[in-house]
Amino acid sequence: MAVLLDENARVIVQGITGREGSFHTKLMLEYGTKIVAGVTPGKGGQTVHGVPVYDTMEEAVKEHPEANTSIIFVPARFAPDAVYEAVDAGMKLVVVITEHIPVHETLKFVNYAKQKGTVIIGPNCPGIISPGKAKVGIMPGATFKPGPVGIISRSGTLTYEIGYALSKEGIGQSTVIGIGGDPIIGLSFTEAMEYFEKDPETKALVLVGEIGGDMEERAAKMIEEGKFTKPVVAFIAGRTAPPGKRMGHAGAIIMMGTGTYKGKVEALEKAGVKVAKTPFEIPELIKEVI
């Protein structure tokens, strides 16, 4: 088993004919992901790496009714529309890679998807991988190996770093989710944790947080309240970042005195979580708990 994504995923790539869409379609196919269709308005009838392209999700789903997952590489101005199209076409999981989407647009489509029962990962995220089963994202597949550890991460590149460090030590992963760095995102730490809690294959969890926001504190609270019962190891990026400065597009920023490194680490440690000082300590800490 795995969470949200396994070998039964049948994937549509929205924005498949673009540079990134096409490149990552190839990598996902090579990884073994079952991509059944692509969608780009006006490009219907083409194929990309052997995948048939349609003008609309409606047509794609009509020809490939088994499709249940989509990944979006559409530029920011058109990405919200692509999300609505995916949700309305009945996708159960939609991964939004696109960055720079206006935050009020994200606010709306995230609430819309929730009403319709679709899980959104992202936007501005690397996606999701269940090693050995399927990859719906842009992470380097070879970095991850099948195994018992779940990873939920606010940071893209750092996820690869940590997955790589674990894999090198022979510790594989059940599912790895990069939830995205924007202020408003579809799937939060705690929501993702609910899935991992129910997954018998996952024996431990790595949380990769960042300064800013209060998702790490909420995760700590969930653990403290006994709603997440598996061992957790965490890493928080931005220990040495100065307050009030925005670090990158992602919006890792400490505002109004909340979201500090110290506050997050204290909350997590109080909940019994071991917090690594560098990403490279994580394999050792994981070995201690499983």
Q: Looking at the annotation, which residues are catalytic?
A: 249
**Total residues found in the chain within this entry:** 290
Quick one: how many helices (H) and strands (E) in the chain? 9, 14
Cβ contacts of 140 within 8 Å, gap of 6 or more: 160
Distance in Å, CB of 142 to another protein, minimum: 9
Nearest CB to another protein, comparing residues 148 and 172: 172
Taking CB under 8 A as the binding criterion, the range among 64-72, 79-87, 226-234, 266-274 that sits at the site for another protein is 79-87
Taking CB under 8 A as the binding criterion, the range among 4-12, 75-83, 196-204, 264-272 that sits at the site for another protein is 75-83
Six token digits for residue 10: 């049948």
Residue 107 binds another protein (CB under 8 A): yes
Cβ contacts of 257 within 8 Å, gap of 6 or more: none
Residue 257, number of CB atoms within 10 A of its CB: 8
- Residue 286 to residues 9, 130, 157, 168, 174: CA-CA distances in angstroms? 29, 19, 20, 13, 14
Nearest CB to another protein, comparing residues 49 and 203: 49
Residue ranges in 80-99 that form contacts with another protein under rule CB under 8 A:
81-82, 84-85, 88, 97, 99
Cβ contacts of 286 within 8 Å, gap of 6 or more: 149, 166, 171, 204, 206, 233
Nearest CB to another protein, comparing residues 247 and 289: 247
Residue 188 binds another protein (CB under 8 A): yes
Among 42, 117, 200, 226, binds another protein (CB under 8 A): 42
Nearest CB to another protein, comparing residues 46 and 56: 56
Residue ranges in 50-69 that form contacts with another protein under rule CB under 8 A:
55-58
Residue 278 binds another protein (CB under 8 A): yes
Beta bridge partners of 204: 149
Residue 187 binds another protein (CB under 8 A): no
Cβ contacts of 62 within 8 Å, gap of 6 or more: none
Taking CB under 8 A as the binding criterion, the range among 28-36, 155-163, 197-205, 264-272 that sits at the site for another protein is 155-163
Residue 154 binds another protein (CB under 8 A): yes
Taking CB under 8 A as the binding criterion, the range among 111-119, 198-206, 223-231, 265-273 that sits at the site for another protein is 111-119
CB 128 within 8 A of CB 69: no
Give the residue among 260, 268, 157, 284 at the shortest CA–CA distance from 210: 260
Instruction: Tell me the three state secondary structure of residue 153.
Output: strand
Residue ranges in 234-273 that form contacts with another protein under rule CB under 8 A:
235, 237-242, 244-250, 252, 256-257
Among 24, 133, 264, 274, binds another protein (CB under 8 A): 24
Residue 277 binds another protein (CB under 8 A): yes
Nearest CB to another protein, comparing residues 195 and 235: 235
